[in-house]
Amino acid sequence: MSVKTWMPPSTVRKSQLKSFRYKTKPSQHSVAMLRQIGIVPDIIMTRISGSLTKDMRRKIALFCSIQEEDLFEAPDVDSVYRLPIIYTKQKLGEKICDKLDLKVEEVDLDKWIKVDSILSKKKEKVTIAVVGKYIKLNDAYKSVYEALKHAAIFNQVDLNIIKVDSEEVEGDSSIIDSITTQADGILVPGGFGNRGIEGKISIIKKARECKIPYFGICLGMQCMTIEFARNVLGIKDANSSEFSETLHPVIHIMEDQKSIDKKGGTMRLGAYQCEIKKDTLAFKIYKETSVSERHRHRYEFNNEYEKLFCENGFIISGKNKEKNLTEIVEWADHPFGIGVQFHPEFKSKPFEPHPIFCNFIKKALEYKNKRAKSSD
C-alpha cells in the first residue's frame, strides 16, 4: 500500500542529517512523568527508525530504572503486519509472560510470515479512489483503508489509494475525469450531512456510465440510489430527507428514528441479518443466502420507490426481513456496482478479509487489465 513517508523539513540540510543522532532524553522525561502519576514501567518499548546502540540502551535502562533486557525496540516499518515477527524475534512475548508469571507457549508465525512475504514481493498495482468529505482527517476511514489492504493482500496486489475530497470535485468535470482515468475502482464510504454530497453523486454517475468498479458503503449506497433516481429514472429532485425537503425522498429516515430528538448513540447500531437473493452479485460474493453485518445509520432506502427502481435496472439483492429494510443494492449490466447499508469494513481481518472488499479489488484489477489491453 502506498503511503506518505516522513520527509525532513526543508530547513534541514543533508549534511546535518548525516550527523543526526537519536537522543534518549525524551524517553527519560516520559518515564519520569509517568512515575509522577504513579505508573512505573516494567518494560519500555522505544520507537525508532534504526536500532538502539549499546550506549543508548545503557542510558535508558539506567535513568528509567529498568534492566537492559526489559528494553525493546519498536521500529518504524512500512507495514504493521511485520511487527508480530519483529517482536517475536526480540522475545517480547516471553518477557511479558515472565513478568505476569504466565506459561510461555510456542508462537506460530506462519500466517504472519506469509502475509509479510506477500507484502514484500513486487506485485501488480491496483488504484482505488476513496471519495469522502473527511479525507483531510488522517484517522477518518481508517477501517476502510485497512479492509482494502486486507483484500489487496488476499489478491496479492499492491494497493494505491487516491484520497478524494468530495467537496473539491463538485461541479468540476475535469477533476472527475482525471480521477476516473487514474482509478481502477471507486469507493464512497459512510458519513453524515449534505456537505460534499453532490461531488459524490457526480463521481458515482461516472462510475456507473463508464462501468468502473464501484463500492458504496452506508452513505455511499444512499448516494448511489440518489444518482440512479436522478439520472436513470429522471427524478431530477430525488434526494435524501437528511439533505433537503424534497418531494422525492428516495432515501428517508427510518420509522423507528422519527420520534428521536436527541441524537447521541441512538442510531441503528450493531449486527442485523440480511437475506440475500440468489442469482445476484451479492450472492456470488457471499455464497450464502443469509449473513449478519454491522450497522450505524438513521436513514434508509424508501421502499415506496422499490418497484420503480427494480423495473429499471436497479437490483435490491439484500434485505432485512424483520424491518423490511433494504440492505444491498446493485446496478444491472455492470461488472461491479454494489452498495450496502451496513459497514462490512468492521468485520474485515488480515487473515479473513471481507468478501465484498476481496471481490472489489479483484474486479478493479480486471478492469485495469481490460483497460490496458484496449489502449494497446
Catalytic residue among 146, 150, 218, 252: 218
- 358 catalytic residue (yes or no): no
Give 352's DSSP letter: S
What does 92-103 look like in DSSP terms, one character per residue?
HHHHHHHHTT--
Give the residues across from 291 on adjacent strands. 274
CA dihedral for 110, 116, 120, 124, sign (positive or negative): positive
What gap in Å lies between CA 326 and CA 42, rounded to an integer? 52
CA dihedral for 163, 168, 170, 173, sign (positive or negative): negative
Cβ atoms of 364 and 128 closer than 8 Å: yes
Cβ atoms of 290 and 273 closer than 8 Å: yes
Give the residues across from 32 on adjacent strands. none
Cβ atoms of 229 and 248 closer than 8 Å: yes
The separation between CA 191 and the C-alpha centre of its own chain, rounded to angstroms, equals 13
What gap in Å lies between CA 53 and CA 305, rounded to an integer? 68
- 343 catalytic residue (yes or no): yes
SS3 of residue 229 by DSSP: helix
- 218 catalytic residue (yes or no): yes
Stretch (H or E) spanning 43: none
Catalytic residue among 274, 345, 354, 358: 345
Catalytic residue among 150, 295, 334, 343: 343
What gap in Å lies between CA 182 and CA 190, rounded to an integer? 23
What does 270-307 look like in DSSP terms, one character per residue?
EEEEEEE-SSSHHHHHH-SSEEEEEEEESEEE-GGGHH
Which residues are marked as active site? 218, 343, 345
